């Protein structure tokens, strides 16, 4: 097979020996137990997932509120490059048409925020895809297993973005790994090889990195957002419900600088953004995080970031992030095994 015709996920530069194979890598068909998180639309562009997969890891497309037609085109583009990826959808605002497209075209569909619904999982399976749920407790993990999920993502309180709450990663892995007999992907606060090694050593089948990939060259992160991420230290995030003006209050982790800037901003509207086919205003304390099309007071928008933000030190190609993290984690695990 020539390099041009080879699927991206089988690109020859991937060094499979850097990290152990796990039940996660075998299930989803990637070389490395590392996953790029669906870090919102349009930051988690198809180009980001494709680049991550080409480097041997697993990519995720954030498709929450994406129209069915746009999603279909994105999945056609991805399918021509790799099958080592999945689609993330919020069950709370599930567009049935987009869900059908995801189930039919993507190799994996992940649901978050929503009650167990075996009919959704059956539909994903009947279309030939793997079904995944994001969980924040052992009880949720058990329900996901009963519902028929093939794997779960255990999302801890250190994670960037919106969640329902949760606990720290190690106690979460402890109870979820005991509760279910499924591959578990650990998510939250991991931006380096150290965190990946720690989660794998604790028994995770894969480790999800979100905030770190916002600084990938392929991510469509707004430059002002990127500057704030690069300047932030590990301790510079805050768990808040403040950015909930458009809906019911729900917890989320953002850069503390964004919370402070929005708090002192005088005015109803902080800017504008072109998103989901329309130009619309971004209200102060709106949940919308700035896409690359945003204008206005970027520093006062919902700048989601996990406690992993301390590992965001430079803008790099996504493949370089994967290689760096995998190499560092592999060295640590080998050192541990050698005693």
Binding footprint of ligand FMN on the chain (CB under 6 A): 37-40, 62, 64, 88, 112, 134, 155, 158-161, 187-190, 208-211, 289, 304-308
Q: Which of 149, 121, 125, 120 is nearest to 135 (CA)?
A: 149
At which residue do the structure tokens 């970031």 appear?
A: 305
Structure-token pair, residue 314: 């430079």
Min CB(307)–ligand FMN separation in Å: 6
Integer Cα distance of 132 and 145 in angstroms: 10
Strands 34-36 and 206-209: parallel
Structure-token pair, residue 229: 């991420």
Q: Which residues contact 218 (CB under 8 A, 6 or more apart)?
A: 45, 47, 48, 50, 51, 317, 318
User: Which residue(s) pair with 61 in the sheet?
Assistant: 87
Residues 113, 90 contacting (CB under 8 angstroms): yes
79: buried, middle or exposed (CB in 10 Å: 19+, 13-18, 0-12)?
middle
Cα–Cα distance list, 218 to 39, 46, 50 (Å): 12, 9, 9
Residue 156 phi, psi (nearest 5)? -95, 170
Residues 101, 68 contacting (CB under 8 angstroms): yes
Assign 19 to helix, strand or coil: coil
Structure-token pair, residue 93: 């605002």
Q: Which residues contact 275 (CB under 8 A, 6 or more apart)?
A: 41, 42, 288, 291, 293
At which residue do the structure tokens 């009947």 appear?
A: 126
Min CB(1)–ligand FMN separation in Å: 33
């Amino acid at each position: 097979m020539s390099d041009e015709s080879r699927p991206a996920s089988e690109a020859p530069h991937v060094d499979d020996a850097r990290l152990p194979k796990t039940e996660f890598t075998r299930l989803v068909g990637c070389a490395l137990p590392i996953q790029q998180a669906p870090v919102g639309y349009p930051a988690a562009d198809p180009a980001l997932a494709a680049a991550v997969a080409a480097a041997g890891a697993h990519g995720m497309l954030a498709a929450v509120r994406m129209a069915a037609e746009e999603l279909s085109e994105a999945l056609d583009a991805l399918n021509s490059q790799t099958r080592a990826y999945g689609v993330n959808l919020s069950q709370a605002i599930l567009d049935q048409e987009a869900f059908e497209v995801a189930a039919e075209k993507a190799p994996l569909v992940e649901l978050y925020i929503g009650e167990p619904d075996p009919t959704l999982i059956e539909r994903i399976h009947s279309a030939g895809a793997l079904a995944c749920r994001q969980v924040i407790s052992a009880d949720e993990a058990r329900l996901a297993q009963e519902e028929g999920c093939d794997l779960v993502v255990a999302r801890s309180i250190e994670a960037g973005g919106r969640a329902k709450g949760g606990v720290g990663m190690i106690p979460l892995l402890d109870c979820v790994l005991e509760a279910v007999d499924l591959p578990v992907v650990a998510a939250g606060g991991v931006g380096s090889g150290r965190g990946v090694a720690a989660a794998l050593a604790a028994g995770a089948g894969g480790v999800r990195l979100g905030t770190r990939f916002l600084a990938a060259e392929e991510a469509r992160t707004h430059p002002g957002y990127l500057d704030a991420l690069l300047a932030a230290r590990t301790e510079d995030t805050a768990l808040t419900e403040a950015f909930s003006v458009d809906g019911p209050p729900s917890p989320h982790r953002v850069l503390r600088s964004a919370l402070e800037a929005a708090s002192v901003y005088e005015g109803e509207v902080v800017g504008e953004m072109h998103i989901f086919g329309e130009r619309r205003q971004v209200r102060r304390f709106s949940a919308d995080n700035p896409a690359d099309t945003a204008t206005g007071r970027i520093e006062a928008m919902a700048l989601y970031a996990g406690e992993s933000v301390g590992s965001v030190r430079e803008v790099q190609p996504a493949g370089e992030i994967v290689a760096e993290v995998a190499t560092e984690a592999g060295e640590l695990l080998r050192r541990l095994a050698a005693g």
